Amino acid sequence: VPPVKLVDVARAAGVHPGTASRALNPETAGQVNSDTRRRIVRVAKDLGYVPNALARGLRTSRSYVVAMVVPDITNPLFPPMVRAAEQVLSEAGYTLVLTDTDNDDDTERRQLERLRAGGTDGFIMATARWDDPQLDALATSKVPTVLVNRNTGTHRLPYIGGDERTGMRLAVEHLAALGHTQVVYLSGPHDTSTGRERSAAFRQAIRTYTEVAGAEVARKLLVSRQEFTAIVAGNDLIAMGVLSVLAEHGIKCPTEVSVIGFNDMTMVNRLTPPLTTVRLPLERIGHLAARTLLAELESGPQDAGAIQTLLGVELMVRGTTAPAPK
Amino acid sequence: VPPVKLVDVARAAGVHPGTASRALNPETAGQVNSDTRRRIVRVAKDLGYVPNALARGLRTSRSYVVAMVVPDITNPLFPPMVRAAEQVLSEAGYTLVLTDTDNDDDTERRQLERLRAGGTDGFIMATARWDDPQLDALATSKVPTVLVNRNTGTHRLPYIGGDERTGMRLAVEHLAALGHTQVVYLSGPHDTSTGRERSAAFRQAIRTYTEVAGAEVARKLLVSRQEFTAIVAGNDLIAMGVLSVLAEHGIKCPTEVSVIGFNDMTMVNRLTPPLTTVRLPLERIGHLAARTLLAELESGPQDAGAIQTLLGVELMVRGTTAPAPK
DNA sequence: GTGAAAGCGCTAACAC
DNA sequence: GTGTTAGCGCTTTCAC
């Protein structure tokens, strides 16, 4: 079955293609006599007319495509955001393209280039680095773009994220309230930049790495004989590394040491002991990012850079107790 | 900066747009004098020429877009497949569109319609039902399509999946080898079809539901006083539901009852006790699905329907032991 | 309120 | 080997 085109509809309805176009387009439907319009709409439906998005895009230079760029979709942080964003965009008639950069700059650059060539209307970027030329390029070229999850240093683009600072505060206050006075913070490795050669292997290993890193730091901590009754980890994986090492050394959690993670990854509530952790509102972030982008798409730049939204986080209290009496 | 077009390149290189087009297109580059071609390529690069995919697509009726349709991207089964597929497709110059149908027929139909209107070149479908009109439509209209994860009854389309049957056999043989003679299989609810009204709520709950379902069935099992020393669950979530109920009843795992899951979801190895489960080669499935689709895209139908590939699965032995002596 | 006509940027016959 | 021409399907000025 060759697809039915606008001309076909027009012919069948006995009108000019231009009129059919106007009738079928919500924006311009008012310009057409309501009887004619009804007839056209009817015929279109009967014939099963579906507009050719390519042709339309070529003419209007709008593709109704939005791309979401994530570093690694297997990281459980992202699927809920992706899903939420897609829901909103899809309802608004947009198609979401997902790209996984595999944590690689070059890949990201190539992907972005291809997407922009394809006429992508806007971007939701979850790959921001503090200093990020790609994002500068996007900002400069005025392609509607919203940042999620991570922000850049320049703050030139709208950003939607979880309020991590408050999350940390909640964690610490919780421990303090329990009576902990010696709390250690383990951030894991900071230098995620890597040489070109080992980068591929590294990218594969990045998630394990952080868990391993947590274990390593915890080990050093134990060796250093520093006094502590609680540990706050930079993320759940690090926390899990810590838990392993503590278990390895026969240190009981949470009776001897309380541990807090970050992110509330799927299933961390099923760990033994369950992990207290900070939950980010991932769906809300996805929704809001999509809405923010839509606003730019439909109504132009929205007070650029002013949109720096931090959504509330939640401390999931599960495996923390007061420190053991001396 | 207004984007540089093919005409601009042609003008700058002192040739006709047609020639520039040929020179820049790998397929037809041979038709152009190599000196001229080099000059054109040079100019194109200097000017930062990026072809307009919309215009090209309109002309060639190929969009270089492939869509992957999944029921729920937050189900950890899918991200590895999506990621793997995207890698392959992206290398071949294709863009991957991800759509999450939210386990909903209507949504799926709408999405498919829009995607097809957008000129999507091919589909990777992870949402197949045994009896699936959408897929029949795709098959009939000869849109290149590959099925993953779930197959249809008709087998009219290429399918790539894990060898679940062997997985189950491995699980059972493993238990048998350990000496189990009373093994129960819990499949969870079969009737995932639902009335329209409660479907939205249901879809939200579907994952929990299966876990809850596992718990419920396990509870019934205990009440029935049936003798068993091992349980094989239809998936990891059901297995987790089972584990909870057993723990609730003070039944020790694996000493009193061994449990086996299916899927090797992220983190199930961190459960206590760790869960023995069957691991599907998700990345390989994604890769192969993409390759299969590419083959169709580039070289036409590949012995349609004959491609029904089951990739090897692996039993991750973690939390199973011999049954306790009577 | 509707028809006419031009053109978005590109490629593929067809000439020469 | 390269220029010419036409047209993919749609929208949008401009007439009337």
Q: Specify the pLDDT at position A301.
A: 82
A98: three-class secondary structure by DSSP? strand
Give the pLDDT of residue B206.
53
How many angstroms separate the CA atoms of B56 and A241, rounded?
51
The DSSP bridge partners found for residue A168 are none
Return the pLDDT at B188.
60
> Contact, B78 vs B125, CB < 8 A?
no
B60-84 pLDDT, tens digit each: 999 999 999 999 999 889 999 999 9
Q: How confident is the model at residue B279 (pLDDT cuts 50, 70, 90)?
A: very high
- The answer to whether B7 CB sits below 7 Å from nucleic acid chain C is yes
- Of residues A117 and B310, more confidence is placed in B310
| Separation between Cα atoms, residue B101 and residue B72, nearest integer Å | 7
Residue labelled with tokens 């697509």: B57
A100 and B116: CB-CB below 8 Å?
no
Q: What is the pLDDT, as a whole number, of residue B305?
A: 62
* Residues A217 and A186 sit within 8 Å (Cβ to Cβ): yes
CB contact under 8 A, A82 and B73: yes
Mean pLDDT for A38-44 is: 95
Q: Which nucleotide is the nearest neighbour of B21, by CA and C1'?
A: C11
Report, as an integer, the average pLDDT of A215-229.
80
Confidence of residue A146 (pLDDT cuts 50, 70, 90): very high
Tell which residue, A285, A312, A272, A283, has the closest CA to residue A170.
A312
Q: Which residues contact B166 (CB under 8 A, 6 or more apart)?
A: B310, B312, B313
Q: What number of residues does chain B have?
A: 326
Sheet of strand A159-162: strand arrangement: A308-311, A159-162, A145-148, A122-125, A65-70, A95-100, B95-100, B65-70, B122-125, B145-148, B159-162, B308-311
- Residue among A95, A118, A267 minimizing CB distance to B114: A95
Q: For the ranges A30-44, A296-310, B117-131, which has the lowest average pLDDT?
A: A296-310
Measured from Cα to the C1' atom, the residue closest to D8 is B59
Q: Output DSSP code: residue B268.
A: G
Average model confidence (pLDDT) for chain A? 87
What would the two tokens of residue A249 be? 């050394």
Query: Rounded to whole angstroms, how far apart are CA atoms A124 and A130?
Result: 16
Q: Residue A172 and residue A253: Cα distance in Å, rounded?
A: 17
Burial A313-323 (b: 16+ CB within 10 A, else e): bebbebbbbeb
More confident residue, B204 or A232: A232
Of A204, A4, A252, nearest to A104 (Cα)? A204
CB A33 under 7 Å to nucleic chain C? yes
Q: Which residue of B has its CA nearest to A67?
A: B97
Residue B238, judged by CB atoms within 10 A of its CB (0-12, 13-18, 19+), counts as: buried
Among the listed residues A168, A171, A139, A174, the one whose alpha carbon sits nearest the alpha carbon of residue A307: A139
Q: Is B222 left (phi over 0), alpha (psi -120 to 50) or beta?
A: alpha
Considering all nucleic acid strands, name the nucleotide whose C1' atom is nearest to the C-alpha of residue A32: C1
Cα atoms in the Cβ-side hemisphere of radius 13 Å centred on B252: 6
SS3 B295: helix
Cβ–Cβ gap B266/A271 under 8 Å: no
B187 Cβ within 7 A of any nucleic strand C atom:
no
B207 pLDDT tier (thresholds 50, 70, 90): low
The residue whose two tokens read 């014939």 is A47
Average pLDDT across chain B, whole number: 87
Å: A3 CA to D8 C1'? 13
User: What is the Cα B16 distance to its own chain's centre?
Assistant: 45
Residue type present at position A285: I
Give the model's confidence band at A162: pLDDT under 50 very low, under 70 low, under 90 confident, else very high. Answer: very high
Distance CA A275, CA A120 (A): 41
A290 Cβ partners below 8 Å, 6+ apart? A66, A84, A85, A86, A87, A88, A89, A124
Question: Is 90 exceeded by the pLDDT of residue A122?
Answer: yes
Cα–Cα distance, B35 to B122 (Å, whole number): 37
C1' of C1 to CA of A91 (Å): 32
Among chain A residues 160-189, those with CB within 7 Å of any atom of strand C: none
Contacts of B270 (CB under 8 A, 6+ apart): A240, A267, A270, A271
Q: What per-residue confidence (pLDDT) applies to B191?
A: 45
Q: Is the pLDDT of residue B313 over 60?
A: yes
In this prediction, residue A212 carries a pLDDT of 74
| Interface contact flag, B86 A74, Cβ < 8 Å | no
Confidence at B326, pLDDT banded by 50, 70, 90: low
CA nearest B237 in A: which residue? A267
| Dist CA A51 CA A276 (whole Å) | 51
User: CB of A32 under 7 A from strand C?
Assistant: yes
In this structure, of A9-13, A49-53, A201-205, B16-20, the range with the lowest mean pLDDT score is A201-205
Using 50, 70 and 90 to split pLDDT, how confident is the model at B190?
A: low
Of the candidates B63, B76, B111, which has its C-beta nearest A90's C-beta? B111
Q: How far apart are the first and last CA of chain A?
A: 81
Kindly tell me if the per-residue pLDDT of B42 is higher than 60. Answer: yes
In tens, the pLDDT along A170-185 reads 998 999 999 998 888 8
Which pLDDT value is given to residue B304? 62
For the CA of A172 and the C1' of C12, the distance in angstroms is 68
Instruction: Show residues of chain B in contact with A118, CB under 8 Å.
Output: 53-54, 65, 95
Q: How far is Cα A269 from Cα B44, in angstroms, rounded to an integer?
A: 55
pLDDT value for B203: 52
Instruction: Yes or no: say if A87 and A44 are a contact pair by the CB < 8 Å rule.
Output: no
Residue A123 confidence (pLDDT) above 90: yes
A226 vs A204 pLDDT, higher one: A226
Report the pLDDT value the prediction gives residue B185, as an integer from 0 to 100. 87
Mutate to test the interface with B, among A60, A100, A106, A140 (most CBs of B within 10 A): A100
3-state secondary structure A111-159: HHHHHHHCCCCEEEECCCCCCCHHHHHHHHCCCCEEEECCCCCCCCCCE
Q: Which residue has the tokens 């964003």?
A: A85
Q: What is the pLDDT of residue A191?
A: 45
**Predicted confidence (pLDDT) at residue A117 exceeds the cutoff of 80:** yes
Cross-chain CB nearest to B83 (options A73, A118, A119): A73
pLDDT at residue A121 above 60? yes
The pLDDT, as a whole number, for residue A186 is 84
Which two three-digit tokens encode residue B64? 């270089």
Mutation for testing the A interface, residue in B61, B82, B98, B102 having most A CBs under 10 Å: B98
This prediction's pTM: 0.88
Cβ-defined contact of B270 to A266 (cutoff 8 Å): no
Residue A18 has pLDDT above 90, yes or no: yes
Q: Over range A299-314, report the average pLDDT.
A: 84
Q: How far apart are CA B291 and CA B284, in angstroms?
A: 10
| A95: β partners | A65
- In this complex, the residue with its CA at the shortest distance from the C1' of nucleotide C5 is A18
Count Cβ atoms below 10 Å from residue B106 Cβ, excluding itself.
11
The per-residue pLDDT for range A243-256, each reduced to its tens digit, is 889 988 999 888 89
pLDDT in the model for residue A198: 47
Report the residue from A50, A99, A265 with minimal CB separation from B113.
Answer: A50
Percent of chain B with pLDDT over 70: 92
Mean pLDDT throughout A139-152? 91
The set of residues, in sequence order, having a beta carbon less than 8 Å from that of A324 and lying 6+ positions away, is: A229, A255, A256
pLDDT of residue B192: 41
Q: pLDDT at residue B32 above 90?
A: yes
Q: What would the pLDDT profile of B91-137 be if each residue is shown by its tens digit?
A: 998 999 999 999 999 999 989 988 988 889 999 999 999 899 999 99
Of the candidate ranges A138-142, A193-197, B135-139, B306-310, the one whose mean pLDDT is the lowest: A193-197
Measured in angstroms, the CA of B271 and the nearest CA of chain A are apart by 5
A73 with B82: Cβ contact below 8 A:
yes
Among A24, A49, A54, pick the best mutation site for testing chain B contact (most B Cβ within 10 A). Answer: A54
Asked if pLDDT for residue A136 goes beyond 60, the answer is: yes
Q: Which of A57, A65, A266 has the CB atom closest to B267's CB atom? A: A266
Per-residue pLDDT, A227: 82
Asked if residues A182 and A227 have their Cβ atoms less than 8 Å apart, the reply is yes
Q: CB–CB of B86 and A100 under 8 A? A: yes
More confident residue, A195 or A37: A37
Q: Which nucleotides of C are covered by protein (CB under 7 A)?
A: 1-5, 7-13
Measured distance CA(B211)–CA(B202) in Å, rounded: 13
How far apart CA B61 and CA B118 sit, in angstroms, is 10
Instruction: Answer whether residue A194 shows pLDDT above 50.
Output: no
pLDDT in tens, B193-204: 334 444 555 455
Q: Return all residues near B72 (Cβ < 8 A) that are at least 6 apart.
A: A83, B78, B100, B101, B102, B103, B206, B207
| Å between B270 CA and nearest CA of chain A | 6
How many angstroms separate the CA of B67 from the C1' of D6? 32
Distance, CA of A299 to C1' of C1, in Å: 29
pLDDT score at A305: 61
Instruction: Write the burial class of residue B135 (CB in 10 Å: 0-12 exposed, 13-18 middle, 19+ buried).
Output: buried
Alpha carbon distance B307, B160 (integer Å): 8
Q: What is the pLDDT of residue B80?
A: 96
**Partner residue facing B270 (CB), from A99, A102, A240:** A240
Look at residue A270 in the predicted model and tell me its pLDDT: 82
Residue A84 has pLDDT above 60, yes or no: yes
pLDDT at A89 over 60: yes
